[in-house]
Amino acid sequence: MRAFNWSSFALGIGTINAFTCDPTSLQEYLGSGISVTSAKYLANNATFEVPSSDIGFPTSPTNLPALCALEVKVPSTSNSSYSFGLFLPDDWNGRFLAVGNSGFAGGINWLDMGAGVKYGFATISTDTGHSSTLLDASWAENDPEAFVDWSYRALHGSVLVAKDLTQKYYGKGPAFSYYTGCSTGGRQGLKEAEIFPDDFDGIVAGAPAWWTVHLQLWNMKVGMYNLPTDAPHHIPQELFPIIGAEVLRQCDGSDGVIDNIISDPRCCNFDPETLLCPGTTAGGCLTSPQLDTLYHLYGDWVEANQTFVFPHLELGSEGNWGMLLGSDEPTTLGTDYVKYVLGLGSNWTWQDFNPSVLALSEKLNPGNATAGFDLSAFSKKGGKILHYHGLSDGAIAAGSSLYYYNHVLRTLKPRGIDLDGFYRYFMVPGLEHCTGTSSTMNAPWYFAGANQAGALGTGVSSVPGFADAEHDVLLAMMAWVERGQAPEYIIGTKWNNDTLQDEVARQRPLCMYPKQAMYIGTGDVDDPQNWACEMLYGGNGLRKNN
Ligand SMILES: *[C@@H]1O[C@H](CO)[C@@H](O)[C@H](O)[C@H]1NC(C)=O
Ligand SMILES: *[C@@H]1O[C@H](CO)[C@@H](O)[C@H](O)[C@H]1NC(C)=O
Ligand SMILES: *[C@@H]1O[C@H](CO)[C@@H](O)[C@H](O)[C@H]1NC(C)=O
Ligand SMILES: *[C@@H]1O[C@H](CO)[C@@H](O)[C@H](O)[C@H]1NC(C)=O
Ligand SMILES: *[C@@H]1O[C@H](CO)[C@@H](O)[C@H](O)[C@H]1NC(C)=O
Ligand SMILES: *[C@@H]1O[C@H](CO)[C@@H](O)[C@H](O)[C@H]1NC(C)=O
């Protein structure tokens, strides 16, 4: 079994010397207007019972190390506020970690905090200033300040107060500060890097929902392509696995190995016509109008005046299409955004959509939520970013991450800033939205990214059995920030049964873009030793290994 060598990362840590873990003691250490919601000490191996009011992240983390659990409320404007949770472990590693949120959910992400505090980090999460479930944005109606809190203000403000409390609790401030988040959490991380470069030394950003002004509308548009359900062009959910199987049949081998994993969907010349029903028979095949829908789904969204709006779903994402395509209405991630954030009102329906809604979204740029490309200040102060995106993501097209990376490159390279020195991007074949892989692909999707430990179990942290900087993206970030060891790859893991983390089914390197994992040609394809990170094409222009 491999383990992270924490002793070589040891910091001189102060002793607990200020407030004790109770509301009265804590209150004295808070600034004016800031109040304690709860403060309680948990002995080793306890469960933190998530308050029933936290509908955004209701799952309770279990088997926690001994810690002080706080919830604190902070005003943001005269009539808005946000809260954050903070776990202060007895056995502190001297560092600070913030974890991110998901979708429009309003709530403290206690489950990801549980995974974080098990490394020894003082760990926080904000509720982003409202209470709601993942897909609900009705809280933003006539409340632009609440949307600003969700966009960035609650996280930044929480980080400042929580760092101060950490310093007071231990008698010494954190030596390094980290962030990990996926989806909305990925967006929060990139936004922090852009506008609050001093908050963190290292930011792990997964599947970032960074392009709010276009993404929310694309979430809806994808559903609209497949509606209404009684139209001839509608593809019922039962056909998604059939489409996925045909994509796999045509695309699996384009990386030189038949293993049910499509390493790079951009390298496949997929021919959807093979799915066309012969004659008039239907079932297990697609009609011509359904094929048109498929072309829309695999095509970029470009508006009539040639404006590129959002990239397409990737080949190989079919197993993850249920959320945007499996219902008789488009997702409220899109329609609630139009109704309550853009302010077109609760009577607006997706049938009312036209390009003026897109223009309005761009003009308003609500809350400035969309992350920008100028990360020069973060680069200058020595900050590091590890960004990843699952190529089987059906909720946020993976191409949007590459678009972001390329635009940061375009912004910084002309100014003489080398991206590889501070910002690395990793595509993850077979990973769906933040967590999981389809049972067909069975891809090595796990590397302790945000939300991933919680998908294995409520008491899981790091990569069970492989808690080291080669397999765990957060430890890789620590090694980069604190030791200058920049990761060229992270090894992804898939167990036979992820819940049990029993036998490893597969491991494989996830390579830093633009390199990709290439099979060396001999040995077990499920053993990471038999793969190398290389440029896809050799200097002669010929594809390698194929
Ligand atoms: C921690 O709690 C679990 C039950 O959740 C129990 O099985 C385990 O033995 C406990 N471990 C220790 C070290 O007390
Ligand atoms: C909060 O206060 C601002 C400024 O006074 C006001 O514009 C806004 O409508 C108020 N929001 C709510 C939800 O009351
Ligand atoms: C929505 O439509 C109903 C019925 O036409 C109407 O009574 C209501 O005022 C409308 N609501 C808004 C916010 O426009
Ligand atoms: C093209 O359309 C988009 C979306 O409606 C709009 O934002 C943009 O301003 C338009 N560009 C031009 C040149 O009209
Ligand atoms: C959004 O960004 C612009 C430009 O940086 C700034 O002027 C504006 O105050 C910001 N708005 C919010 C709500 O942060
Ligand atoms: C994994 O193990 C759990 C616990 O034994 C079991 O409930 C679950 O069905 C297993 N999953 C698979 C895919 O075999």
**CB of 303 sitting under 6 A from ligand 4:** yes
Choice between 444 and 541, residue whose per-residue pLDDT is larger: 444
The percent of residues in the chain predicted with pLDDT above 90, rounded, is 90
pLDDT of residue 294: 98
- Distance (angstroms) between ligand 3 centre and the Cα of 96 equals 48
Average pLDDT of every residue of the chain: 95
- The residue among 315, 510, 495 whose CA lies nearest residue 398 is 315
| pLDDT-wise least confident of 186-195, 204-213, 317-326, 534-543 | 534-543
- Per residue in 97-154, pLDDT (tens digit) is 999 999 999 999 999 999 999 999 999 999 999 999 999 999 999 999 999 999 999 9
- The residue among 391, 346, 343, 334 whose CA lies nearest residue 214 is 334
**CB of 141 sitting under 6 A from ligand 2:** no
Given pLDDT bands bounded at 50, 70 and 90, which one contains residue 467?
very high
* Nearest-atom index, ligand 4, CA of 306: 1
Given pLDDT bands bounded at 50, 70 and 90, which one contains residue 31?
confident
The percent of residues in the chain predicted with pLDDT above 70, rounded, is 96
pTM: 0.95
pLDDT at 543 over 80: no
Choice between 14 and 522, residue whose per-residue pLDDT is larger: 522
As to burial, measured by CB atoms within 10 angstroms (0-12 exposed, 13-18 middle, 19+ buried), residue 284 is exposed
Q: Hey, whose CA ends up nearest to atom 13 of ligand 5?
A: 367
Contact residues of ligand 3, CB 6 A cut-off: 345-347
* CA distances from residue 364 to 76, 93, 514 in whole angstroms, order as listed: 21, 43, 34
**CB of 360 sitting under 6 A from ligand 4:** no
- Distance (angstroms) between ligand 5 centre and the Cα of 349 equals 29
Q: 261: Cβ–Cβ under 8 A, 6 or more apart, which residues? A: 252, 255, 429, 430, 441, 442, 443, 508
Choice between 10 and 280, residue whose per-residue pLDDT is larger: 10
pLDDT of residue 16: 64
433 is catalytic: yes
Q: Hey, whose CA ends up nearest to atom 11 of ligand 3?
A: 347
**CB of 497 sitting under 6 A from ligand 6:** yes
Domain ranges of the chain: 31-170, 175-210+371-545, 215-367
Please choose from 191, 212, 368 the residue to mutate so as to test ligand 5's pocket, defined by most ligand atoms within 8 A of CB: 368
pLDDT of residue 255: 86
Given pLDDT bands bounded at 50, 70 and 90, which one contains residue 304?
confident
393 is catalytic: yes
pLDDT of residue 1: 45
Given pLDDT bands bounded at 50, 70 and 90, which one contains residue 15?
low
pLDDT of residue 546: 44
- C-alpha 227/C-alpha 328 separation (Å) is 7
Beta strands 308-310 and 301-302 are antiparallel
The catalytic position among 183, 392, 401, 462 is 183
pLDDT at 8 over 90: no
Please choose from 141, 347, 348 the residue to mutate so as to test ligand 3's pocket, defined by most ligand atoms within 8 A of CB: 347
Q: 293: Cβ–Cβ under 8 A, 6 or more apart, which residues? A: 225, 226, 233, 234, 235
As to burial, measured by CB atoms within 10 angstroms (0-12 exposed, 13-18 middle, 19+ buried), residue 28 is exposed
| pLDDT-wise least confident of 13-17, 303-307, 432-436 | 13-17
What are the strands, taking DSSP E only, across 139-199?
A: 176-182
- Per residue in 509-527, pLDDT (tens digit) is 999 999 999 999 999 999 9
Beta-carbon-side half-sphere exposure of residue 338 (alpha carbons within 13 Å)? 26
Q: Which two tokens stand for residue 169?
A: 């609790």
Q: What is the mean pLDDT of residues 365-384?
A: 98
pLDDT at 281 over 70: no
Q: Hey, whose CA ends up nearest to atom 6 of ligand 5?
A: 368
pLDDT at 14 over 60: no
80 is catalytic: no
Q: How many helices (H) and strands (E) does the chain have?
A: 15, 17
* Beta-sheet strand order (sheet of 80-89): 35-42, 67-77, 80-89, 122-126, 95-99, 176-182, 202-206, 384-390, 423-428
Q: What is the mean pLDDT of residues 190-206?
A: 98
pLDDT of residue 368: 98
- Distance (angstroms) between ligand 3 centre and the Cα of 345 equals 9
- Whether 203 and 385 have beta carbons less than 8 Å apart is answered as yes
pLDDT of residue 20: 87
Using alpha carbons only, what angle is made at residue 469 by residues 467 and 473, rounded to the nearest 5 degrees? 90
**DSSP 8-state symbol, 6:** G
pLDDT of residue 280: 64
Q: Hey, whose CA ends up nearest to atom 2 of ligand 5?
A: 368
pLDDT at 371 over 80: yes
In angstroms, how far is CA 324 from the centroid of its own chain?
17
The residue type at 335: T
* Nearest-atom index, ligand 2, CA of 143: 13
The catalytic position among 393, 468, 472, 498 is 393
Q: Which two tokens stand for residue 505?
A: 């089914």
How is 275-314 classified by DSSP, letter by letter?
GBPSTT--SSSB-HHHHHHHHHHTS-EE-TTS-EEEPPPP
Beta-carbon-side half-sphere exposure of residue 498 (alpha carbons within 13 Å)? 24
pLDDT of residue 202: 99
Given pLDDT bands bounded at 50, 70 and 90, which one contains residue 195?
very high
pLDDT of residue 254: 87
- The residue among 364, 375, 363, 365 whose CA lies nearest residue 195 is 375
- C-alpha 384/C-alpha 178 separation (Å) is 10
- Per residue in 242-274, pLDDT (tens digit) is 999 999 999 999 888 999 999 999 999 999 999
CB atoms within 10 A of CB 110: 28
Q: Which two tokens stand for residue 147?
A: 């949307």
Q: Hey, whose CA ends up nearest to atom 4 of ligand 1?
A: 63
pLDDT at 2 over 60: no
- C-alpha 135/C-alpha 415 separation (Å) is 40
